[in-house]
Structure 1
Amino acid sequence: MKKPIRIAALALAVAVVTLGCSARADQTTDKLKAAVQSRLGDDATVKSVTKSPIDGLYEVNLGTQIIYTDANANYLVLGDIVDAKTRKNLTDARLSETNRIDFASLPFANAVKVVKGNGSRKMAVFSDPNCPYCKQLETTLKSIDNVTVYTFLYPVLSPDSTVKSKSIWCSSDRAQAWEAWMQNRQAPTAAGTCDTAAIDKNLALGRAMNVDGTPTVFLADGRRLPGAVPADRLDKELAEAH
């Protein structure tokens, strides 16, 4: 799977600005998109190119990462644009917006469902059973109440991840088997010989949604939270998305 791009030779800048974010395209962007893609080659796929809040600087959306370039694609800029007045990270906000999904359309039947409290707040997680950060997120979830968590088993790290995912999916109580392994290191014991087509579907779905790392969290309003976010932020984001 593709990782965030790292380029050895480039002009690196982190811009701090006071301007609002504008995403209006102009006639330059189509040519610029092709030029940037040519520069990057197979390292990344350019989803779109739009104007950034800074004159002469263009936003390049790579799906799971936003970088910036000049009007001639001679320079690639890695870094976040931050509003100096509000301290809002405009790059993060744009990435979240461009990666927003239709949460209700997710195939929840292919996920392990865990309900805590009244379950009124909802989130989906793409998770690998051998991912240490996924286990960290599961530990964080112990302190989060009134939430329904749909975990899409997403074995991408190793063949053993697939073995464990199939065993968990084939367990008589999938939620119990998942939490026992992720929180208490109790390995699943089911044979893993049931119908595990859901796992293959999860892998295809994740690739289509640019899920290139685990855990990846999706909130009920469609926003994406990459990584094992801390409890205070997760609780706040769940409240805002509810």
Structure 2
Amino acid sequence: MNKLFFNLAAVCALLLSVGPLQAQSEQQIKSELQKKIGANTKIKSVSASPISGIYEVMVGNDVFYTDTNAKYLIQGEIIELASGKNITEQRQADLNRIKWSELSPANALKAVKGNGTRQLAVFSDPNCGYCKRLEKSLQQLDNVTIYTYLIPILSADSAQKSKQIWCSADPQKTYVDWMINGIAPSGKSDCTTPLDKNTAFAKTYGITGTPTLFFTDGSRFPGAVQIADIEKKFSSLK
């Protein structure tokens, strides 16, 4: 009985030691890989992947892989053949999620269509061509509330237009008039705006391009997303 107890205790001790040893190994891999790729590219984390001997490397919100010796940096996708699941794609989606509750509606233009039950957040630059294309497509949606967060990242003129839009008597109408009808905003631009807050939020969450859409589950869709894909996503949230 004493021998059995000793063996069980040894197994438990071994299992408890796996975590720290693995963490130490991952830290060593991260350190070694960081030396090789240089200080200009910051590695956020290194962790075990589903494949033995292959480690996930996080650089910004991008997923790469490396080997135990940090000799190779692998760019590609891991697909589980049994299920067809794209492990990398799912991981990337999870990393790019935000908490919907962290958005501040007070800092956004707001458009309500129909009953407004479905919700969508869009980060947009008024001089972004793809944003204009998306805005035209969004006009086809019904029963939706769209929050548009202006982030003037393209030029000084983007900042000026964003201020003029926000400071107008009807910001949402002024925005749509410009994005769809080409009626340039005019008037004052010296009111208090949330543009700095929106830009800071975008930087924190790695929103580097416009348009970028977010749904209530926190999932991120970059670019001028097709209406069919937006409707499909809304359907999956029901």
Coarse TM-score class (shorter-chain normalised)? 0.7 to 0.9
Q: 1:221/1:161 Cα in 2 relative to 1: closer, same or farther (>3 Å)?
A: same
Q: Identify which range, 54-63 or 115-124, moves more after superposition.
A: 54-63
Q: Identify which range, 55-64 or 215-224, moves more after superposition.
A: 55-64
Question: Partner residue of 1:218?
Answer: 214
CA distance in 2, matches of 1:158, 1:120: 35
Residue 43 of structure 1, CA deviation: 4.2
Q: Which amino acid aligns with 1:92?
A: E
TM-score (norm 2): 0.83
- Residue 104 (structure 2) aligned to one of 107, 131, 154: 107
Q: 1:70/1:239 Cα in 2 relative to 1: closer, same or farther (>3 Å)?
A: same
TM-score (norm 1): 0.82
Count of aligned residue pairs for this structure pair: 218
Residue 42 of structure 1, CA deviation: 4.4
Question: Partner residue of 1:125?
Answer: 122
Contact 1:215 1:228 in 2 (8 A): yes
Q: Which amino acid aligns with 1:124?
A: A
Q: 1:166/1:57 Cα in 2 relative to 1: closer, same or farther (>3 Å)?
A: same
Residue 146 of structure 1, CA deviation: 1.6
Question: Partner residue of 2:232?
Answer: 236
Q: Deviations over 1:66-123 (max 9, x none)?
A: 1111122221112222333544432221112123222022111011111122111112
Structure (1 or 2) with the greater helix fraction: 2
Q: Deviations over 1:17-44 (max 9, x none)?
A: xxxxxxx993222222223333333443
CA distance in 1, matches of 2:124, 2:208: 11
Q: What percent identity do the matched residue pairs reach?
A: 45
Question: Partner residue of 1:6?
Answer: none
Residue 143 of structure 1, CA deviation: 2.4
Unaligned runs of 5+ in 2: 1-18
Q: Which amino acid aligns with 1:169?
A: W
Residue 162 of structure 1, CA deviation: 0.5
Report runs of 4+ in structure 1 exceeding 4 Å deviation: none
Aligned-CA RMSD value: 2.0
Contact 2:57 2:65 in 1 (8 A): yes
CA distance in 2, matches of 1:114, 1:240: 22
- Tell me which structure has the larger Cα radius of gyration: 2
Unaligned runs of 5+ in 1: 1-23
